[in-house]
Amino acid sequence: MKKVLFFLLILLPVFATAQEDRKKDTINLLNEVVVKAVRVNSESPVTFSNLTKEEISKRNLGQDIPILMNYMPNVITTSDAGAGIGYTGIRVRGSDATRVNVTINGIPYNDAESMGTYWVDLPDFSSSVENLQLQRGVGTSTNGAGAFGASINLLTDAINESAFAQLNTSFGSFNTQKYNLKFSTGKLGDHFEIAGRLSKISSDGYVDRATSDLKSYFLQASYVDDNTLIKALAFGGFEETYQSWYGVDAETLETDRTFNYYTYDNQVDHYNQDHFQLIWSENYTERWSSNIALHYTWGRGYYEQYEEDQDFEDYGFEEINIGGETINTTDLIRRKWLDNDFYGTTFSLFYTNNNDFNLTFGGAWNKYEGDHFGEVIWARYASNSEIRDRYYDNYGDKNDFNTFAKVKFAVAKNWNLFADMQIRTVNYRASGVASGEINDSFFFFNPKAGITYNINTWNNLYFSYARANREPNRTDYENGDPKPETLNDFELGWRINKEKVNISSNLYYMRYKDQLVLTGELDDVGAPIRANVGDSYRLGLEIDANIFISKHFTIQPNLSLSTNKNLDINVSWDGELINLGETNIAFSPNIVFGSSFNYLPISDLQISLLSKYVGEQYMANLDNENSKLESYFVNDINVNYQIKFKKVLKSIVLNALINNIFNVEYVSNGYYYTYDDTWSVPGETITLDGAGYYPQATRNFLIGATLLF
């Protein structure tokens, strides 16, 4: 709490210096400065796609941001509970979420230790997003860990000129319910605005007992004039989800695909996360502008587990004797806690001379402090313990600094060059990992360069090269002695941007050294295990388009074809090291297709058919048929209808989403072991055949209404 108060004290002087007598200017331009340092446009030699607030709102009925991004190019999403609410995941170009850099208003969101993104901690955050950009490949320099498959940067709500209140409610299959209230004061005195949101989402989940109880808030105070934008934001969430982390085996998938092994009534993940941001964007002249932000995130929570026949020595218990019998195991309930603080600053300075010369300096300093500890809250045989004695008490401490310079300039008519140089230093200290206490430092130099040729006003070509380096995460250290990884990314693209046809196509070749790929295995808390694999690559073609067939019909298809290979992989099989040569990289299908076919019979009604095809993929790097996930093709129907009014109630928007309309039984994620494994779960011991699966929901629906006052 002291850190929060200290952070708020920093904010006050900045507000005090805000100038109140400048002329009115365009708010949107200042708002975009917030993310200008990490974003690109059609003149940049970077592969990207955008998603707007309007596009998000059509399907925003309670599902997480990854699910809302499902139809973007080369994106695969999955849900532990099967219905898109609770724990969800995203992979881009076959790279999992730990390799996708995420920023909110230019501020890192990935967990500093695991590098994962846990959208369940910010439920309904999509309702406060102005727009997002997905950059595939290394992309441009950003803050936080390097992008090894993609980067996602989100910009939160812009300032509203007029006051409004908005009530949103939805319900659907699996007892899913969502309620949210948004408001804005509009601009007060031409300068100030206060806006906010409260949300509640609950769902029973498709999988048995995979319930979610989610709450969140978003509060924003803004000051704007013709050259200044200052925002103070507080947002966060609470989540309690019943654990469905381990899926089902192949036999159960066929006979009872919604089965959940856990039966203890409080086998839950329970977490709170609060974010505070202060952002100041300033236009000094027509050519010079800047953005600086301070941030603080406080996360704390635990997951609770019932465990049988646990050894006393693992919990610091002493053996006891009852009736002449020595007792050294017990059933118990434990909580594994994470309590962390993440704070720092991001900064950027811009110079522009029309489109002939653009220069950006930027960077960030961030600090992470995490406490990892475990408590036993009940034991059948408590021995010498007291309630909430800590049976482990570890820490993680990370300092991350980066600075970058980007330049884009015209070298000749229709030719633009782009260069981007980043230096990043990381120091990571931790205890409680396999190698004992660690203290590792990393120095990374990440150069990027590219060229764009404008064939005409609607047609351009680009080529780029980017190098990225990344440090291992905590789980990597817990499971071995990992090395940092390096990526060289080559992108060749062609964009067509006409009035009725927009097409983006690109070839990419991503060559890795010591890539930390998913092995297919999970650790004891359900986190995916990664391992260095030496040389590997991803080679692919991506095409996405937006075609206006007529005033009533549009289609937005995308197609990704790729080959993803480990070149010289060694694996441990039954205690022996075996060289498998060239194999497919885990969780990397060769075909991913998505489309949205939209019909607009009248101006306020839209009906969309959303389709997704994902080719077969392996869950391990062994090319073992037992580790294969079958291909799947699913279709959704989305209906949006707006009714406008002229009095107190301005409009009602009705939304309906029928997911998986053809009732396909499919699996989008899983895990695979190279050996049989035995789990002890409440009530029974289960021996797996090496593979586990996360079944996704069959046909289901969500219906919602938004009232705007």
Count CB-CB contacts under 10 A for residue 24: 11
Residue 15 has pLDDT above 50, yes or no: no
Judged by average pLDDT, the poorest of 25-39, 125-139, 152-166, 370-384 is 25-39
**Would you say 473 and 144 are in contact if contact means Cβ atoms under 8 Å apart?**
no
Residue 38 has pLDDT above 50, yes or no: yes
Pairing of strands 107-108, 100-104: antiparallel
Given pLDDT bands bounded at 50, 70 and 90, which one contains residue 6?
Answer: very low
Residue 104 has pLDDT above 90, yes or no: yes
Given pLDDT bands bounded at 50, 70 and 90, which one contains residue 11?
Answer: very low
d(CA 586, CA 620): 5
d(CA 125, CA 131): 12
d(CA 526, CA 521): 9
Residue 272 has pLDDT above 60, yes or no: yes
For the CA atoms of the chain, what is the radius of gyration? Answer: 26
**Would you say 200 and 109 are in contact if contact means Cβ atoms under 8 Å apart?**
no
| Each residue's pLDDT tens digit, 581-596 | 889 999 999 999 999 9
Counting residues of the chain whose pLDDT is more than 70, the rounded percentage is 93
Residue 434 has pLDDT above 80, yes or no: no
Given pLDDT bands bounded at 50, 70 and 90, which one contains residue 68?
Answer: very high
Give the end-to-end CA distance of the chain in Å, rounded to a whole number.
Answer: 37
| Each residue's pLDDT tens digit, 223-261 | 999 899 999 999 999 999 999 988 899 999 999 999 999
Given pLDDT bands bounded at 50, 70 and 90, which one contains residue 10?
Answer: very low
The CATH H-level (homologous superfamily) assignment of domain 2-708 is TonB-dependent receptor, beta-barrel domain (2.40.170.20)
pTM: 0.91
Counting residues of the chain whose pLDDT is more than 90, the rounded percentage is 77
Mean pLDDT of all residues belonging to the chain: 90
Please report the pLDDT score of residue 490 as a whole number. Answer: 97
Give the residue-averaged pLDDT of 67-87: 95
Q: Which two tokens stand for residue 645?
A: 């009014």
Please report the pLDDT score of residue 4 as a whole number. Answer: 42
Residue 16 has pLDDT above 60, yes or no: no
Give the residue-averaged pLDDT of 134-161: 91
Judged by average pLDDT, the poorest of 205-214, 441-450, 557-566, 665-674 is 665-674
Residue 289 has pLDDT above 50, yes or no: yes
Q: Cα torsion at 45, 49, 52, 55 (round to 10°)? A: 160
Phi, psi values for residue 253, rounded to 5°: -55, -35
Given pLDDT bands bounded at 50, 70 and 90, which one contains residue 506?
Answer: very high
Give the residue-averaged pLDDT of 577-584: 81
Please report the pLDDT score of residue 593 as a whole number. Answer: 98
Please report the pLDDT score of residue 570 as a whole number. Answer: 73
Residue owning tokens 């919602």: 704
Q: Cα torsion at 181, 186, 188, 192 (round to 10°)? A: 80
Residue 678 has pLDDT above 70, yes or no: no
Give the residue-averaged pLDDT of 163-189: 96
Q: What's the Cα-to-Cα distance from 94 to each of 75, 91, 425, 449, 540, rounded to whole Å?
A: 8, 6, 27, 24, 11
Please report the pLDDT score of residue 27 as a whole number. Answer: 62
| Each residue's pLDDT tens digit, 326-347 | 999 999 999 999 999 999 999 9
Given pLDDT bands bounded at 50, 70 and 90, which one contains residue 648?
Answer: confident
Q: Where are the alpha helices (DSSP H) in 440-539?
A: 474-478
Given pLDDT bands bounded at 50, 70 and 90, which one contains residue 573?
Answer: low
d(CA 538, CA 592): 14
